[in-house]
């Protein structure tokens, strides 16, 4: 184990480490703590110049109610779900198929296709912006959540395919071969032998894609214009423009927008980290 376990150090150092941990965490999360405290600060505090002292009272209920009552943030959140959930289902479903194809079959162009998916994942969004916006307009899907879903599904399929393919490669190939010898069709091998084993990969990818797509801001501004389809990231930015200097509202809105992916992360932490660190341990 590296560094040396703290238990081997003197009690003095151990106590110091245990003291340092919460202190370091406090400093690390200072911007977040500041926003969280501001979101429950009475509006009067800000007017009186009490920006980062102890709040004069708890106004969490008022501030959060005001955010939901006076702004369309509820609608924005709903739109984000309308974009995120179908994208997760679509991208994971498509990549189960593509990942299986690239992991199990040897055919000409296999590696080229695989690296095309990998490379697609790294390209700058801007090179896609004009044509994708144009295509979405032509399909009549501009300014709809569906337009965003289709693009996200296609783009995320790149990352998901990389993930699924590597996961299936790690499964024992003998399972598939013995099924083939028994004459099981390729589709049934996928459906009844491989797919059940892919549950952990599906879970990991779902949380990751949920977070990526929920937090997308660029496409939300390029493919959507009106409130009725706007996801919460773009919505929050436009609200920030309206709430000039109303930092208690901006803060409360930020917390609301950040909550779903944060909740997702805490609920599915193991899967999330397993997905994110894929490849960090071996080749």
Count of residues of this chain found to bind another protein when the rule CB under 8 A is applied: 99
How is 69-124 classified by DSSP, letter by letter? HHSTHHHHHHHHHHHHHHHHHHHHHHHHHHHHHHHH---TTHHHHHHHHHHHTTS-
CB closer to another protein out of 88 and 150? 150
Please, what is the end-to-end C-alpha distance for the chain in angstroms? 21
Minimum distance from residue 61 beta carbon to another protein (Å): 21
Reading phi first (left if > 0) and then psi (alpha if -120 to 50, else beta), residue 71 is in: beta
How is 130-166 classified by DSSP, letter by letter? HHHHHHHHHTT-TTSHHHHHHHHHHHHHHHHHHHHHH
Minimum distance from residue 201 beta carbon to another protein (Å): 15
CB closer to another protein out of 125 and 173? 125
Q: Binding string to another protein for residues 93 to 132, with x set by CB under 8 A, is what?
A: -xx-xx-xxx-xx-x--xx-x-xxxxxx-xxxxxxxxxxx
- DSSP state at residue 171: S
From the list 63-71, 171-179, 186-194, 196-204, the region that binds another protein by CB under 8 A is 186-194
Minimum distance from residue 9 beta carbon to another protein (Å): 10
Q: Which residues contact 279 (CB under 8 A, 6 or more apart)?
A: 166
- The footprint of another protein on residues 63-92 (CB under 8 A) is none
| Binding of residue 184 to another protein (CB under 8 A) | no
Helix (H, G, I), strand (E, B) or coil at 183: coil
- CA distances (Å), origin 224, targets 16, 219, 240: 52, 8, 18
- The footprint of another protein on residues 6-65 (CB under 8 A) is 6-7, 17-18, 21, 24-25, 28-32, 34-35, 38, 49, 51-52
CB closer to another protein out of 69 and 109? 109
Task: List for the chain the helix, strand, coil content (%; round to 5).
Answer: 75, 0, 25
Q: Binding string to another protein for residues 203 to 222, with x set by CB under 8 A, is what?
A: --------x--xx-xx--xx
Q: Binding string to another protein for residues 127 to 146, with x set by CB under 8 A, is what?
A: xxxxxxxxx-----------
- The footprint of another protein on residues 229-258 (CB under 8 A) is 233-234, 236-237, 240, 247, 250-251, 254, 257-258
Q: Binding string to another protein for residues 141 to 180, with x set by CB under 8 A, is what?
A: ---------xx-xxx-xx--x-------------------
Tokens 């500041």 belong to 34
- The number of C-alpha atoms within 13 Å of 17 and in the hemisphere containing its C-beta is 11
């Amino acid at each position: 184990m590296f560094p040396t376990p703290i238990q081997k150090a003197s009690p003095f150092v151990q106590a110091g480490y245990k003291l340092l941990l919460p202190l370091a965490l406090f400093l690390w999360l200072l911007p977040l703590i500041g926003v969280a405290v501001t979101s429950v600060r009475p509006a009067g505090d800000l007017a009186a110049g009490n920006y980062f002292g102890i709040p004069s009272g708890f106004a969490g209920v008022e501030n959060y109610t005001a955010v939901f009552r006076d702004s369309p943030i509820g609608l924005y959140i709903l739109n984000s779900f309308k974009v995120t959930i179908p994208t997760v289902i679509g991208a994971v479903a498509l990549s189960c198929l593509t990942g299986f194809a690239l992991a199990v079959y040897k055919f000409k162009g296999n590696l080229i296709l695989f690296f095309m998916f990998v490379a697609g994942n790294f390209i700058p969004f801007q090179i896609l912006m004009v044509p994708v916006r144009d295509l979405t307009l032509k399909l009549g899907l501009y300014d709809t959540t569906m337009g965003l879903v289709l693009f996200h599904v296609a783009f995320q399929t790149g990352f998901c395919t990389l993930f699924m393919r590597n996961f299936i490669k790690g499964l024992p190939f003998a399972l598939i071969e013995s099924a083939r010898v028994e004459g099981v069709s390729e589709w049934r091998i996928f459906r009844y032998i491989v797919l059940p084993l892919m549950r952990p990969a599906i879970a990991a990818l779902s949380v990751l894609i949920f977070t990526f797509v929920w937090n997308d801001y660029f496409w939300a501004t390029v493919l959507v214009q009106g409130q009725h389809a706007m996801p919460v990231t773009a919505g929050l930015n436009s609200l920030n423009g309206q709430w000039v200097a109303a930092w208690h509202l901006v803060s409360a809105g930020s917390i609301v927008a950040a909550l779903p992916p944060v909740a997702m992360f805490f609920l599915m932490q193991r899967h999330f980290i397993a997905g994110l660190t894929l490849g960090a341990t071996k080749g």
